Structure 1
Amino acid sequence: MVANRSVEQEKYTVARIAGVNIPTNKRVLIALTYIHGIGPAKAKEITAKLGIAPERRVQDLSDQEVLQIREAIDAGYTVEGDLRRQTAMNIKRLMDLACYRGLRHRKGLPVRGQRTHTNARTRKGKAKPIAGKKK
């Protein structure tokens, strides 16, 4: 015989929001930051708007609450693939315009005015050896 369970009693093993598997053992506020495009501030805004306590664990949320979070994110925020695509298109637009920032992106150099004589190794890549430089 199958027992009827209420929505509140069901525990989540995996919550999937915006195409991302959210860790269930973490607090809602922290778990939402696993979605690309949602940081701590937006996560706090979402939980406050929906009236969900930020310190609650994802596994303690009901199906209805997870659905509310999913709908709020879909309705009001650009996240994951759409955000990555939008960022890539913005960079491509700069490169097509051949403006200063676009040229810096094209050359793989820092875009926001940082010095390149020394440092900038993250953006420029591994240092190239110079022939004839021996001790």
Structure 2
Amino acid sequence: MKMYEVTARTPRLLAELLTVWEASVRATHHFLSDAEILQIKEYVPQALRGVAHLIVAADDAGAAVGFMGIEDGRLEMLFLSPAARGQGLGRHLLEHGIAHYTVRELTVNEQNPQAVGFYEHMGFTTYKRTETDEQGGPYPILYMKLG
């Protein structure tokens, strides 16, 4: 497994990351309908292009199996392909973000208990909760800080 910060956000790479994103969301975000996933998916390439630091985890063949986006010390996104889950990759990515990009904050869907538990295990604690997501959808968001 290798990790690297993306320098060229090519259409091919963005398409590959979008595939990882969708598989990850379908495996973990059971509170979203198929239509909602497809609606959100339209905005993911823009988010991938716009985030300050995009770090990809690739398998030995060079295929992306996970990624995270970081902006101003905030973890903006972290997604793993379902086949890569449970192998320490999320921990490895997040520790890299903490060590090299001073990640100290993140938000997570409260309705994704596996992610909430993972971030708590990694030392993050909730300091704020909202009833809706940033788009006003009925998805409570937890705001978490390290330490």
Instruction: Say whether the fold is shared (TM-score over 0.5).
Output: no
TM range (shorter): under 0.3
| Larger relative helix fraction | 1
| Larger relative strand fraction | 2
